[in-house]
Amino acid sequence: MTNATTTTTDPLIGTLLDGIDPAPLFTPFTAGELTLSNRFVMAPMTRAFSPDGVPGDDVRDYYARRAAGLGLIVTEGTYIDHPSAGSSDRIPLFYGDAALAGWKRVVDAVHAEGGRIFPQLWHLGVTRSEGAAPHPEAPVISPSGLRSDGSAKGEAASTKDIDDIIAAFVQGALDAQRIGFDGIELHGAHGYLLDQFLWSKTNRRGDRFGGSTSNRSQLAAEVVSAIRSEVGPHFPIDFRFSQWKGNDYGARIASTPEELDQILVPLVDAGVSMLHASTRRYWLPEFDDSTRTLAGWTKHLTGLPTIALGSIGVSAPFLGGDEESQSTLSIAPLVELFEQGEFDLVALGRSVMSDPEFTGKIRTGRAADIRAYEKGHESTLY
């Protein structure tokens, strides 16, 4: 595979530091019993490198290579133990003896490098392909049996479905705690199941899980509450959310700070520890008449530790084209927003996928040596 330490020829990489001292981002972070060596988080990125859903030695080594330079690793999305959760037999499972043994080896390798690691627990909901592995017989399940465009697909989740899904998330969290993970992340973003409940376009339910903005947070809150009651008061529970969806960059689960508050407060009351605000451009204001970013509003409204994400160290936003490319990759806005208290942690996606030493090169002033991310080269990255 291509050596990820090869010097890039991308001229924008040289603008990353641009006279900026990155030292504030390398300060330790503590929340409860979780202590991180710096403020950088590896964002979850699906790779489909786990045949039959079992992470192997290559997956172990992939995460271990990145552990020393990052305060926290959040794994790629892993399917919970519900038959309608997944859509591929190459994306890792988070259930079954073989998959959990593979994840145990990943945890041990990351800890050996001094890192901390959460698994991301995932259910696709309506975005699942009908008839897909690992359970082709399973129906597609979502809040209302609707795609984001309003067309019908699959089935609306019954009360039993919801109970089973909550139980599967709980079991995933318990297994993560048992095999030594440092916390968990719930995938409530990008148009997947928990997000589908949060969004009015895909949630047309008339029971306690639908209707008002706060009601649409009910399933996510019940998942958090059920997990918290089983893992105890100190095990970190991170919830990742977004406005945008994989097929709708302009989507919004909240149009005002007040609506965002109604979505997040039930999660806080249920016992969530951290919030991960996923955006395509971390520096943009989220609502009219305010300069606060989505991460900034999240921390302001909840007071919880908050992770910011969105196009850090890469030329264009996720799934964006050349027309959306940035003219500079300078982290000056990132450091400024961090020092203003908009967020506590910074998530890196494609930049750290491409170069495991990304943060080390930033810390030591070697930005020009970073191997830049190139779209379409994911299969060559290690």
Residue with tokens 């259930």: 95
373 is catalytic: no
Q: How many CB atoms lie within 10 A of CB 212?
A: 11
Both tokens of 52, joined, read 């039959």
Residue with tokens 């639908």: 210
Identify the active-site residue in 192, 249, 282, 382.
Answer: 192
379, burial (CB in 10 Å: exposed 0-12, middle 13-18, buried 19+): exposed
β-partners of residue 347 are: 41, 309
From residue 174, alpha-carbon distances to 169, 262, 336 in Å are: 9, 28, 38
From residue 276, alpha-carbon distances to 61, 110, 241, 273, 307 in Å are: 25, 21, 6, 10, 5
From residue 287, alpha-carbon distances to 52, 243, 316, 326 in Å are: 43, 12, 22, 22
Nearest of 205, 96, 95 to residue 143 by alpha carbon: 205
Evaluate whether 66 touches 361 at the Cβ level (below 8 Å). no
β-partners of residue 242 are: 278
CA atoms within 13 A on the CB side of 16: 26
Both tokens of 120, joined, read 């991301």
> Which strand (E) or helix (H) includes residue 345?
strand 345-348
Cβ-proximal residues to 269 (8 Å cutoff; 6+ apart), any chain:
221
Evaluate whether 12 touches 374 at the Cβ level (below 8 Å). no
CA distance 35 to 65: 20
The residues carrying an active-site annotation are: 192
